Each structure stands twice: as structure tokens, then as C-alpha cells.
Structure 1
Amino acid sequence: MLESNVDFLPFFFQEPVYVVDEAQGETVYQPLGENRCRILLLVEELETHHVSDSGKELLEKILLALKLSFEDVCLVNVSHCKTPNQLESKLEFKSCISFGMPPEDWQFSNFSRKYEVIKDESERAFLWADPLSEIATDVEKKKALWLSLKTLFLTE
């Protein structure tokens, strides 16, 4: 609205008029982790801000096996952070693991096949895995994830 004074609005409308500041529509998302190793983890869980307790427990085990912790990664729940621009801090990563297919705005590279590590022209690595809830209950998916993680991290 060009006019900053809204006192005239009641003369035009009989119903209550609410003026919404445009800045209120922009939500800023605080990811989990400190991103020390520049590793981006993407999850999509509607019921929780970051990750469910069971998902967090599984991620802790995965990170521990890789000699990492949540301080080393940046965990983003894409159901609450629709685009990278909504992050509180600048997003820098050298590896991205997506647990489930990320929304288009989060597809920095072509996630073509599950459990296949793909590198882009700037040597950033991408791995598309099943959602954490599926990995937790399926031994074959755990094995596939571990083989991919070994390719991604333990050979560097």
C-alpha cells in the first residue's frame, strides 16, 4: 500500500479492515546444528519443527558412525522451511543428504537415483535416500544408506 496512513479505510469499508505488515509474512527458519563440516541434511516431517525423536535418534547413530555430531551438520525440515532463502543464516554446504525427495526449491542438483552419490560442477555431493521413518524399519534401506555414506564420507 502506498499510503502509510490507513485512517481513511473505515470510510470505504463497512467490515473490519486489518493491515498486515509485509515483513510479517516472511518467516525465518533456524536449522538444527552448527554446520561445522558443511553438511546439509534435509528431512520432511510435518509434525515437528526439526525432526521427530525417532528420526533424531537414527540420525545420531548415523552421525556417530561417521564420527560426526549435530554440531557438524545443518538439519533443515523442508516442510517448515520452503526455500533456502528462509534460513536464518547463509547456507553453505559441500554435501547434501536428502531423506525423501526434497521440494523443487531444495533440489540443488539432480536427485536421479536413490542411494547414488552425485557431484555437481562445483564438486558438491548429493545423496537422495528414503525418509528416515522408512530407513528405521527396513534393514535393506539401512544397508543401502550405509554403502552410500561410506562412498560419500569415508573415502575422502
Structure 2
Amino acid sequence: MSMKEDDLSYLPLFITEPVYLFDEEEPVTSVSSAAETTPGEVAENPAKRERVPEEPSADNNGVREPEQPAYAAGEPEKKEPAPAPVPPKPLPFQGKNEKSIVLAIDTPTNQDQRDLLKKIMASVNITGRDVAMTDVRGLQDPASLPPHRLLISFGVEDPLLFHGEVPVPYEIKKVDHQSFVLADSLSTLYSDISAKKNLWEVLKKLFVA
């Protein structure tokens, strides 16, 4: 007796264990669900593409670093220009300073002292128009002094007047194109004849050929 190819009645004669038959299915090439779109569909509809949110950059403590300005390759980082220095306020003075001679004092002068100063200057042909008499109390910057080629200090031993080093009294100190002399105060000169002589000797070196 011939058996049809799909007649399986003979199987119980050879197999004693239970046998289960399943309908054949087409092989599955992907574990994705049937509802997933195909690559072609994704290309046609970019809106269907899955987007992964970008994570902000963070340091080891989980704190997000502040954004830094971007500069072109090779371009130096731009810096704010430094503020321009403010020039010191000039000291007020008496006279015209026509010969750039500064007479530095630190106390108000009385009439007797002013008359003495005029006689001292007149002895070497210097007038009030040639000099600038200025009160240097509280001097903080030498640049605030009137322009001068000669500075005579009457009793003021401030190093700022002499480029940092106070000269020996009645000796001429020269720094570049400037000369400096330290004399006694006007009150001492008024009453001390030897102080007058010392000042006269140094003035002759400065003004008398």
C-alpha cells in the first residue's frame, strides 16, 4: 500500500514519545517588532528617526562647565585695554617759573622771610618771574612738581624731591639734566649768618661764571 507524502499515520510505529507539529513560518531576520519602520521609511520620513538628547558636559563633580567664547584657530584671545594712568595733580606755586627753578618750602612764609628770599635771589640776578616757589607738604609724586632744571629745598629733606637720595646740605647734586641743593629753612637763614654764607657760596657755583 502506497502512502501519501503527507500521510503521517505511520509515525506512531517508530516514535513512542509525543510529537508536536507546527505550521512552518517564514524565517525572521530581525528581532524588531512589526511596527518598526524600515530603513527606507526612515529615510523618507526623517521625523520618525529616534533622537537621543545630548548630555551637557560636566566635570568630575557633575557640575556643568561654563561655556567659553570660541576663537578662530590661531586668533589670540582679546583682552580689554588697560586704563590710561591718571596724571598727578600739579602743585600750585608762586612766580612764573620762566627759568625752571623750583624753590621748595614746607611752611608758610612771613614777610621777613619773603624779603630775605628776594634779596638772596637778586644777588645772582634771579627775580620772582624766574622761579616757582611751592609748598611740598604731602608730596606723593615728583611729577606733580613744576618743571625744573634746578631745585633748591629750604629745610625739606623729602627723598621724593631728590630722585630718592637726599643730598648733603649745600652740595650740588646732579641727576641727568637737573641739579638739586638742600639748604637750611628760611627761618634759620633769616637768623643764622653762617647759613647765609653757605647758601651764597653754592649760588655762586650755580649762577656766577
TM-score, normalisation: structure 2:
0.52
Other structure's SS at 1:144 match: helix
Which protein, 1 or 2, shows the higher relative CO under an 8 Å CA cutoff with sep ≥ 6? 1
Matched, 1:36 2:98: yes
Question: Over aligned residues, Cα RMSD in angstroms?
Answer: 2.2
Question: After superposition, where does 1:3-152 map in structure 2 within 5 Å?
Answer: 29-45=91-107, 48=108, 51-79=109-137, 83-86=141-144, 91-108=146-163, 110-120=165-175, 122-152=176-206
* Pair 113,42 (structure 1): closer, same or farther in 2 beyond 3 Å: same
The 2-side partners of 1:79 and 1:94 are apart by: 21
Contact 2:170 2:182 in 1 (8 A): yes
| Structure 1: runs of 5+ lacking an equivalent | 1-25
Shift of 1:80: 6.2
Deviation track 1:25-71 (CA, whole Å, cap 9, x = no partner) reads: x97642011110111110110xx3xx332221111101111111111
Contact 2:162 2:180 in 1 (8 A): no
Q: Which residue matches 1:22?
A: none
Between Structure 1 and Structure 2, how many residues are aligned? 122
The 2-side partners of 1:92 and 1:139 are apart by: 31
More helix by share: 1
* Pair 82,55 (structure 1): closer, same or farther in 2 beyond 3 Å: farther
Contact 2:95 2:128 in 1 (8 A): yes
* Pair 134,68 (structure 1): closer, same or farther in 2 beyond 3 Å: same
Amino acid corresponding to residue 65 of structure 1 in structure 2:
S
| Structure 2: runs of 5+ lacking an equivalent | 1-87
Deviation track 1:64-118 (CA, whole Å, cap 9, x = no partner) reads: 111111110011111265544556xxx3111110111332332336332111111
Larger radius of gyration: 2
The 1-side partners of 2:126 and 2:206 are apart by: 13
Q: Which residue matches 1:19?
A: none
